[in-house]
């Protein structure tokens, strides 16, 4: 794997919520504030017209040192099959960037109140995008049995 020159990321904001340690599940109802850098407040204008947004965040607690396993049990559940890292959403990846689609409850200046963001308090946010049905969604997606049976 090649390091990409000039790709050091900037924190455009930070997650604030009550979750201090990663949860295995139960994120659906977690409310979070995304506190965006105040220099970027204007760049949020119009986002509040979207009901949902895509948040990219840096999973700063993921194990980035050492050798990553090629295969993992999804969500650490031993009863699920061992599959390739990229067939899972494990945070321990070559680039630990998380992607969540969340409901935007409201915006107040540089603060976005969202529901369902699976990131702990203090997580750096690296991008925010509007969720666009059709472009971001698929109607006929197929997944393996271990996903539906989990």
Helix (H, G, I), strand (E, B) or coil at 75: helix
Minimum distance from CB of 128 to a second copy (Å)? 5
How many CB atoms sit inside 10 A of residue 101's CB? 14
- Binding of a second copy by 25 (CB under 8 A): no
**16, 35, 37, 121: residue in contact with a second copy (rule CB under 8 A):** 37
Query: Of the two residues 97 and 111, which places its CB atom closer to a second copy in the complex?
Result: 97
**35, 50, 105, 111: residue in contact with a second copy (rule CB under 8 A):** 50
C-alpha distances (whole Å) from 106 to each of 41, 65, 150 are 14, 37, 32
Compute, in degrees rounded to 10, the torsion defined by CA atoms 122, 123, 129, 135.
-140
**101, 105, 115, 121: residue in contact with a second copy (rule CB under 8 A):** 101
Encoded tokens for 115: 């529901």
Asked whether the beta carbons of 113 and 102 are under 8 A apart, the reply is no
Q: Which residues between 5 and 24 bind a second copy (CB under 8 A)?
A: 5-12
Q: Which residues between 118 and 147 bind a second copy (CB under 8 A)?
A: 124, 126-133, 135-138, 140-144, 147
Minimum distance from CB of 18 to a second copy (Å)? 21
Asked whether the beta carbons of 113 and 14 are under 8 A apart, the reply is no
> What are residue 80's phi and psi, to 5 degrees?
-90, 150
In angstroms, the CA 55 to CA 101 distance is 6
**23, 63, 70, 77: residue in contact with a second copy (rule CB under 8 A):** 70
Footprint of a second copy on this chain (CB under 8 A)?
1-12, 37, 39-40, 42-47, 49-52, 54, 56, 58, 64, 68, 70-71, 81, 83-89, 93-95, 97, 99, 101, 103, 124, 126-133, 135-138, 140-144, 147
């Amino acid at each position: 794997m090649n390091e990409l020159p000039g790709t050091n990321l900037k924190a455009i904001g930070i997650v604030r919520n009550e979750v201090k340690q990663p949860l295995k599940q139960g994120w659906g109802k977690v409310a979070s504030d995304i506190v965006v850098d105040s220099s970027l407040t204007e760049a949020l204008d119009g986002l509040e017209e979207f009901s949902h947004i895509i948040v990219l965040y840096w999973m700063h607690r993921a194990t980035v040192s050492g050798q990553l396993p090629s295969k993992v049990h999804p969500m650490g559940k031993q009863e699920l099959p061992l599959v390739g890292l990229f067939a899972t959403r494990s945070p321990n990846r070559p680039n630990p960037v998380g992607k969540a689609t969340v409901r935007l409850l409201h915006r107040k200046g540089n603060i976005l109140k969202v529901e369902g963001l699976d990131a702990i308090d203090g997580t750096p946010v690296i991008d925010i995008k509007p969720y666009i049905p059709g472009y971001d969604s698929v109607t006929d997606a197929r997944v393996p049995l271990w996903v539906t049976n989990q």
